[in-house]
Every structure is written in C-alpha cells, then in structure tokens.
Structure 1
Amino acid sequence: MVAEALGDTRVVILNGARQTGKSTLAELCLRDHQPDGVRRYLDDPRTRASADADPVAFLDAPGAMLIDEVQRVPELWLTIKHIVDRDPRPGRFLLTGSARLLGLSQLPDSLPGRSETIELFPLSQGEITGGPDGFVDAVFAHGSRLRAAASTLRRRDYLALATRGGYPEAVRRETPRRRAQFFRSYLDDIMSRDVHQVADIQRISDMRRLIGTLAAQSGGLLNYSRLSSDLALPASTVRDYVGLLELIYLIRLIPAWSANATTRAVATPKLVFNDAGLAGHLVSGVTNDATTGGLVETFVIGELARQITWSQTMPRLHHYRDRDGYEVDAVLEDNAGRVVAVEVKAAETVRTDDFRSIRVLQRRLGDRFRAGFVLYCGDQQLPFGENLACLPISALWTTQPGEER
C-alpha cells in the first residue's frame, strides 16, 4: 500500500501507535522507492532543533524525503504544503507519526488532494502466523457459504493470544512476565512522550486512572457521565482525555450503526483498545465474565479492523444497539449497503439464542443482510438458519478470501 501510494501521491503519511513498526516499514519503502532519498529523524534533538530553526532549509532536498515522527515539529506542515504545491511529483515526502496527524490542533493546515494516510496497527494474527487473513473479503463474497477450517484452539488459547497482543516486541517476548514488563514500559513511554506532545496534561495520574478504567470496559459502550462519576472528574475533561487517547492510537471508538430500517438504534459509540494485549495487561488480576468477554471482543474487533485496511471490499466497521436491548458486536457494511453482522462469544458452545440480535437485524434489513456469524471459542462451523452460522474465532485469520463451500 505504501509503495503504491508513493507512486502517485505527493505526500504519504504513515500513521499509527508507537512500537508498531512504522519507522522500519518507512525505511524499507523509501529504499525501494528512492534508495538515495533523504532521511530525517525528529526523535533526535539536534535534528528537531534544525527543523524548528529553519523549516525551509531543513526540507530542501532534490528527491524524496522521509521524516520520522513529524508531529514533533508542526511548523514543517506549511512548508511541506508549499513545496509540493510547486513540485507536484509523486513520492516527494514520506511522513510517519505516532498520532492521528490531521487531528492535531497544532497543525496549521491539512493537505487535501495532496496526501494519502495509511494507518498501521499492531500485528494481526495472520501477520504473526503467516495465515491468509481473508475473512472480511470472504464473508462479503460468499456469505455463510464460506468454508472455515476446524480449529484446535479453545477458550484458554484465545485468551492467551489476546493477552499477548500484536506489538512486535510483545510478540517476540516468550513469557507473560516479560510481556508485562514491555507493557509497563510502553505505557510509561506513552505518558511521558506522546501525551505531552499533543496536549498539556497537568495531572497524568488522572489520565492513568482513566486508561485503567477504560481497559476494564473495553468492548462496552462509551458512557462519559458514568466515567465522570467513577473517576470524580468533570465530564468535559473525560471527553477531552478520551479524544486524546484515540488521537495517539491507544483506543478506538467504533461508531454506532443505524439505517432507516432500524430507527430504534442508539447512537452511542463502543470503545475498544487498539491492542487487546495492552488491555489485558491493565486488567490482569481482575477475572470475571465481563472482563474476559470484553477482552475476547476487543481481540476479535481488532482483527476485523486490521483486515479492513487491506481488504478489497473495504467495508465500514460499526456496532449496533437499539432501545429494545438488541445489540450486535460488529456490523460491517460495504459501499453497496450490504451488511455482515458478527457477534462474539467467549464460550466453547453456541446456542440458538446467541443469534437473537442478529436475527432481528436480519429481519429489519431484508435483502441488504448478507450474512450473520457468531464467532466463538469452539472448534467447528455450524449452520443456524439461512445466511447464519457459527465459526471458530480462528476463521478470522485462517480463511482464504476466495474460499466457499
């Protein structure tokens, strides 16, 4: 994706959380695009000082330039815009950042029509194991006719995968104790660097308390009033802090889905951590059905979100809940308006009642309903009615895009 964008776009922005491999990927892509391209790393204080002092001279180069952690010097933005307006060659700048750059208030302007943003998340299970990661495209192509392989994984195995997470450094560490040390250091780094880069937070302790509370609620609806009450913080502060955590890729807000056929839908977003391993670390020692179910749901939604970034279908990811209490964990809608519903169960068996909310959505949508699935911790695919089936969670990363029954 990055290589393609460099071939036809003036400014390519590689955005994502810290420790997801942005710098390494950018290096490889620049080497292929233009081996003699200039590299600037704004984590280096001397390089940052140079960029601050004279942005025009700093960006003066005949060919492509990689600027790593560009959010550290927002003053570069206008100069980049000025350069690419006068030199419209594609692949002029490759920028990386550990925040959603266009959401930063310090940036003086965006680059409409001049840039393409590619988001990089922690590794998917397919990237870790070499699996095809084809579930999203397969469900739209084949609906419930897709073929899912039987799984040897069980609930404890999925919990182990979820708590390992997808940060490359965490995946490499072989024991839970060593991964816990990584997550502790990662959070310290986020608090001391990323948070201060994008906002003036006076009480970091309040932010840390909020992060811990959100981890325990990952996979649930975002309720600012309840968070405000639980943390004894103004609702406006909680809202600002949540926005900041989304900006630096710690969390993701899944928007509510509705359509004319489902006018009873509520508009509250769902909150999930971008990495289930980090959420699991924050709730370690708290073992109950709510935290376990939330962790498995966070894990599954994370896999879906990653696949969407490279799928051919490119559906939008939502959740559904209505005033009658019917809710579906993930709703995927493609550009044609077709809908795939996904419910997540942290159990090794599936009951007919587990499809209750999906069936409601199916009736309300009619022909727009493509298929509905319950992803669970069991071993096999089973039909549960027309266009309905249960699948092992591992089908997310073991299904080929073109497979069907």
Structure 2
Amino acid sequence: MQKAKDYLPRKASRLVEEALGDTRVVIVNGARQTGKSTLAELCLVSHSDVVRRYLDDPRTRASAEADPVAFLDAPGTMLLDEVQRVPELWLTIKHIVDRDPRPGRFLLTGSARLLGLSQLPDALPGRSETIELFPLTQGEINNEPDGFVDAAFAYGSQLQVIPSELRRRDYLALASRGGYPEAVRRTTPRRRAQFFRSYHDDIMTRDVHQVADIQRSTDMRRLVRTLAAQSGGLLNYSRLSSDLALPESTVRDYVGLLELIYLIRLIPAWSANATTRAVATPKLVFNDVGLAGYLVSGVTNDATTGGLIETFVIGELARQITWNQTMPRLHHYRDRDGYEVDAVLEDNAGQVVAIEVKAAETVRADDFRSLRVLQRRLGDRFRAGFVLYCGDQQLPFGDNLACVPLSALWTTAPH
C-alpha cells in the first residue's frame, strides 16, 4: 500500500465508509491505477477481523477458483482486490450474504464495470452498493473544496467565485498531467509520458483481454488513438467504421469494451422529453484527459486543444457529481438547428445548470448563444448557465448567465 505521506485523500472515502456501515457488499469500481486498493485499505483501518485477498496473485487466484466457499470463509470483513479476475466467486458471495446479512461483509475492488461483465452469473440487487473511483480531481490534488456543482444549484449565477491567476497555458499543463496518482507524482513531462505509455500498453494487453477475446489488438489500438483525437466530440460509429476500415458492429463492440474498463465515458444527449435521450447521439470523452493528451501528442490544432479542455472540464464535473450533495445527472445538449451545450446537469427536481466550455481567455456575448436558447426553452427550470473559460474573473452576461474561470470548478465552496 502507498505510504501515508504520499496519499492524496479521496472524497469517495466517505462514501465507502458510510456504505460499509449499512450494506452487505460494497464495491469500489474504477480504472486501473486510480487508487482503489489504497482507498479500500485505508477505509478498513478501524475495522477488526479484516481478511485481505489479492486476486492479482496467481496463487491466491488458484485457491479462489478451486474452492470458493472455503476461500471466502471469514468471520469479519473480507477485502477482495481485483475481484473481476475470478467470476466464480460471485454466486458464493451472494450465497454468503443471503445467510449472513451483516453490513460490511465484503469490500470488493475491480478494474471494470463489474455488473457489465458477461462472465458474472448474477447481480446482487439490494445487497450491494457501488462507488466509482475516477482519477483525482484538481480539488483532491490541491486540497480545494470541489464545490462548484452544489454551489451552482444552490445560488445559480450568483455563486461566489474566486478570481483565478491561471491562464490557458496553465490549464493545458494541468490537463496534460491528468489525474492518475502516479502521473500526478511525476514532475517532468518525459517521466509522465513514460507512465502514460506503460499504462496504455497495460490496458491494451491485460485489461481488454480480461473482459473479451480481442483477435486483432492493432485495430483496438488504432481505435483508441482515433477516439483520443475526438475526445469531447460526438460519437459517430459510421464515420469511425469508415475511417478505420472496420465493420460498424466491431467498432460498437470495441467502444463498449473501452467503456467497460473505464478508459472512456459516453455522455448521453439531453432533451426535455426523456424518451428521446436513449436514441440521441452521445458525446465521448476519455476518463483521464492526461492519457488522451498523450495519445494525441504531436497533433496540435484548435480542435484537439478545445477537445482536451472540454474533456478536462467534463472530467472534473463527472467526478464531482459522484460524491456531492446534489447528485445531478450529466448530459450534453444538441438540437437539429445546431445549438450545442457542452454539459447539462439536471437534478431530481428537474432544475438544470448548463455549461459551455471555451479554451480562450476572453468571452463574448455570442458565446452564450446556445445557453440562451436552452434558457428560453426551459423557462423556470433553467437554474443557471455558465461559460467556463481560461480567463481570470466572474462576469454577468444577463439573467442567470455568467462566465467564470475554469478553476471555479475546484476552488468554489459548496455553500
């Protein structure tokens, strides 16, 4: 486990500790190298009778496969690390917690969306809770409040934002660093690039093959690099199929696998009519902008730069809403007239906070064009609209509309 002095506290730790207090099976799910094992270990420090099993050890894995019942026999809490490696344990876990309903019976970690794996014979409805762990937020890295989403819903465009000293080049540097703890600790671009190279190779040679039988790994690698160059854009399966000379069905399968192992995220389209969301075109973003930047290094233009800044912002929003109080749903907006909004956050009451991202240090009234269209269509449901940009200050641009620095995402207090 990481030394305590190197550990950056995670906001998700509170969620894990709360779940262990009232839920039989707690699952910490997320990409490789996001700190799941360390988080799980630290959340069990105060627990007694903890048994730890690490399934990346071949001997431990062989024991689990040979006799799952004996392997899982323990009086207190059992930590099972990398549980997706032994799907045979799933039914035995269900059997045990059905007969011993004490909370905190199992703490599982996995490097794939476990319930999406075809090898798993059954889910654990009513018995489990999943906490997703993503790369570090800027707030976690810098010990900032990470409260923008809660503040936006609480105060609308009147939220209080701290002026920023960061500029476009600074945000691009933060984006290129990404949020994997190991990448954050490395202090030079060359060493960070070496981490991303090794990480990408591990994902392609290990994680992908854990969840599917990929016959032509070179096709998957080509797809990943192509998607990195398009991160922040709409997902067009037909165009990808044509560009890569692959069947569209193969592209769809590969994209599903990449989402399963937390390499990418699909942001669904938003509409006032809920029935249209499932058929509208999703937006694709990498879960770590640093990895996306590494994969497109050498390809520098306005499109890739804008896509990386948008990926950076959406990543911060997506991580923040996994543990904040409001817990809104994240979408993007696009209509037939060409109006687009990069992020649409909708809470359970139907209130909407809409966000446009600009990779520029200045803002014009025209940058609010799509936000105003959405505001007119939503009426009272429109809580606030923001343009997040690379400048230094918060400025009003009309009723419930304002521009704020990108750093407001992590420096703003929630209340």
Q: Same fold (TM over 0.5)?
A: yes
Inter-partner Cα distance in structure 2 for 1:36 and 1:274? 35
Identify the match of residue 42 of structure 2 among 17, 23, 28.
28
Amino acid at match of 2:310: E
RMSD: 1.3
- Equivalent residues of 2:268, 2:278 under 8 A apart: no
- Equivalent residues of 2:48, 2:76 under 8 A apart: no
Inter-partner Cα distance in structure 1 for 2:278 and 2:405? 28
User: Structure 1, residues 14-63: CA drift from partner, whole Å, max 9, x if none?
Assistant: 0000000000011111222x233100000000000000111111001111
Residue equivalent to 1:2: 16
* Residue 169 (1) aligns with residue 191 (2): no
User: Secondary structure of 1:237's partner?
Assistant: helix
User: Secondary structure of 2:123's partner?
Assistant: coil
* Residue 42 (1) aligns with residue 55 (2): yes
Identify the match of residue 288 of structure 1 among 292, 297, 301.
301
* Residue 368 (1) aligns with residue 377 (2): no
* Residue 276 (1) aligns with residue 284 (2): no
Inter-partner Cα distance in structure 1 for 2:320 and 2:266? 17
Inter-partner Cα distance in structure 2 for 1:216 and 1:133? 28
Inter-partner Cα distance in structure 1 for 2:190 and 2:328? 37
Identify the match of residue 16 of structure 1 among 13, 30, 46.
30
User: Secondary structure of 2:354's partner?
Assistant: strand
- Equivalent residues of 1:256, 1:270 under 8 A apart: yes
Identify the match of residue 131 of structure 2 among 118, 131, 154.
118
Amino acid at match of 2:108: L
- Equivalent residues of 1:265, 1:321 under 8 A apart: no
Inter-partner Cα distance in structure 1 for 2:109 and 2:143? 26
Amino acid at match of 1:280: G
Once the two structures are superposed, the pairs formed by residues 50-61 of structure 1 within 5 Å of their partners are 50-61=63-74
Inter-partner Cα distance in structure 2 for 1:107 and 1:78? 8
Residue equivalent to 2:10: none
CA apart distance, 1:264 = 11
- Equivalent residues of 1:265, 1:323 under 8 A apart: no
Residue equivalent to 1:194: 207
CA apart distance, 1:257 = 0.4
Inter-partner Cα distance in structure 1 for 2:198 and 2:273? 47
User: Structure 1, residues 156-214: CA drift from partner, whole Å, max 9, x if none?
Assistant: 00000001000000000001100000000001111121111100001111100000000
Residue equivalent to 2:155: 142
Amino acid at match of 1:383: P
* Residue 79 (1) aligns with residue 97 (2): no
Inter-partner Cα distance in structure 1 for 2:286 and 2:277? 27
Identify the match of residue 234 of structure 1 among 233, 239, 247.
247
CA apart distance, 1:258 = 0.4
User: Secondary structure of 1:151's partner?
Assistant: coil
Inter-partner Cα distance in structure 2 for 1:26 and 1:278? 24
Amino acid at match of 1:7: G
User: Structure 1, residues 127-168: CA drift from partner, whole Å, max 9, x if none?
Assistant: 000111000000000000001111110000000000100000
Amino acid at match of 1:88: P
- Equivalent residues of 1:266, 1:321 under 8 A apart: no
Inter-partner Cα distance in structure 1 for 2:164 and 2:230? 28
Amino acid at match of 1:113: G
User: Secondary structure of 1:77's partner?
Assistant: helix
- Equivalent residues of 2:268, 2:282 under 8 A apart: yes
Structure 2 CA distance for partners of 1:272 and 1:264, relative to 1, 3 Å: closer
Identify the match of residue 235 of structure 2 among 206, 211, 222.
222
* Residue 63 (1) aligns with residue 76 (2): yes
Identify the match of residue 247 of structure 1 among 260, 263, 267.
260
TM-score w.r.t. the length of structure 1 is 0.98
- Equivalent residues of 1:264, 1:322 under 8 A apart: no
User: Structure 1, residues 74-130: CA drift from partner, whole Å, max 9, x if none?
Assistant: 000000000000000000000000000000000000000000000000000000001
User: Secondary structure of 2:322's partner?
Assistant: helix
Inter-partner Cα distance in structure 2 for 1:16 and 1:76? 19
Inter-partner Cα distance in structure 1 for 2:213 and 2:236? 24
Structure 2 CA distance for partners of 1:265 and 1:78, relative to 1, 3 Å: closer
- Equivalent residues of 1:23, 1:96 under 8 A apart: yes
Inter-partner Cα distance in structure 2 for 1:249 and 1:38? 27
Amino acid at match of 1:76: L
Inter-partner Cα distance in structure 2 for 1:315 and 1:93? 28
* Residue 151 (1) aligns with residue 164 (2): yes
Which consecutive unaligned segments of at least 5 residues does structure 2 have?
A: 1-14
Percent of aligned positions that are identical: 89
- Equivalent residues of 1:170, 1:179 under 8 A apart: yes
Identify the match of residue 106 of structure 1 among 107, 119, 132.
119
- Equivalent residues of 2:346, 2:353 under 8 A apart: yes
Which consecutive unaligned segments of at least 5 residues does structure 1 have?
A: none
Inter-partner Cα distance in structure 2 for 1:92 and 1:310? 23
CA apart distance, 1:247 = 0.3
Inter-partner Cα distance in structure 2 for 1:304 and 1:234? 33
TM-score w.r.t. the length of structure 2 is 0.95
- Equivalent residues of 1:262, 1:364 under 8 A apart: no
Amino acid at match of 1:24: T
Identify the match of residue 102 of structure 2 among 75, 84, 89.
89
Amino acid at match of 2:129: E
Once the two structures are superposed, the pairs formed by residues 235-384 of structure 1 within 5 Å of their partners are 235-260=248-273, 267-384=280-397
